Amino acid sequence: MASSADSNAGLPAYAELHCISNYSFLRGASHPAELVAQAAALGYTALALTDECSVAGIVRAHVAARRHAIQLIIGSELRLADGLHLVLLVTDREDYAALCALITRGRRAAVKGSYHLSRSELEALGTACCVLWVPAADPQLADALWLKQHFAGRVWLAVELHAGDDDHRRARQLAELAAVAGIPAVAAGDVHMHVRGRRALQDTLTAIRNRQPLGSGSHILYQNGERHLRSRAALARIYP
């Protein structure tokens, strides 16, 4: 029987840069340690744990990363008050301190369980952190240019494809936007669970968060279970 290392031979390296755990309340369906262990089993180079406006799961992820000998990247997903969707990634201790300070400001500016951050507060990061832009369904060039202006050399456009009907159009749209804006594109997964089998739980969490019955309609649920840690072979096909 072929080993995991043999099955991964010849495949491109991959680091998942956008991944939330159950520390993103009523969103993520897997524990940080489960995500780290699965990423290591799939032969990933690294995993970024990027819970929403939080670094609460980092300690458990760090312990698991040491056990499984995989690089852990610390980060956080943020939705600014104007809807801009970003992931901030830490590269050193100074970045970590800046990210924690930003999270604290955002949490203090809103009621418990929520947060509020503006573009001006993000600008105050200065040169701290790498920035991953997760474009909306209708991405705006103005947003790309703002990001390029303030985070030149450390901003990337996330291309996240989940076996949707319009994946080819979406990939082409984002590639064209990245080229026009002069921002490099990078593959990411918007991961919510370590394996596809957690989809039923993730759907249930979504229904609870939206305060709607689980069978009330697919518009509140993801259309499939693709937001799990996928094999490198599958990723190589999705992002050739």
Q: Which pLDDT band, with edges at 50, 70 and 90, does 1 fall under?
A: very low
Q: CA distances (Å), 53 to each of 28, 48, 50, 91, 169, in order?
A: 13, 14, 8, 17, 31
Mean pLDDT of 122-140: 95
pLDDT of amino acid 2? 45
Answer whether residue 170 shows pLDDT above 80.
yes
What whole-number distance in Å separates Cα of residue 237 and Cα of residue 240?
Answer: 6
> H or E element: which one contains 187?
strand 185-187
Q: pLDDT tens digit string along 5-21?
A: 445 668 999 999 999 99
Q: Which of 49-58, 95-104, 158-167, 210-219 comes out lowest in average pLDDT?
A: 210-219
Q: pLDDT tens digit string along 183-208?
A: 999 999 999 999 999 999 999 999 99
Helix axes 32-41, 58-68, angle to 10 degrees: 30
pLDDT of amino acid 217? 59
Answer whether residue 220 shows pLDDT above 90.
no
Answer whether residue 218 shows pLDDT above 90.
no
Answer whether residue 135 shows pLDDT above 60.
yes
**8 vs 227, more confident:** 227
The b/e string for 33-48 (b: 16+ C-beta within 10 A; e otherwise) is bbbbbbbbebbbeebb
List the beta bridge partners of residue 185. Answer: 157
Decide: 52 and 80 in contact? Cβ < 8 Å: no
pLDDT of amino acid 216? 61
Nearest 5°: the CA angle 37, 224, 136 is 95
List the beta bridge partners of residue 219. Answer: none
What does pTM read for this prediction? 0.94
Q: Which pLDDT band, with edges at 50, 70 and 90, does 213 fall under?
A: confident
Q: Which of 6-20, 21-35, 81-95, 200-214 comes out lowest in average pLDDT?
A: 6-20
Provide CB contacts within 8 A for 50, sequence distance 6+: 17, 18, 19, 20, 75, 76, 77, 87, 88, 89
Q: SS3 for 41?
A: helix
What whole-number distance in Å separates Cα of residue 231 and Cα of residue 11?
Answer: 10
Mean pLDDT of 136-157: 96
In a 10 Å sphere around its CB, with 0-12 CB exposed, 13-18 middle and 19+ buried, how is residue 78 labelled?
A: buried
Percent of the chain at pLDDT exceeding 70: 95
Residue type, 17: L
Mean pLDDT, the chain, integer: 94
Helix axes 141-151, 167-181, angle to 10 degrees: 50
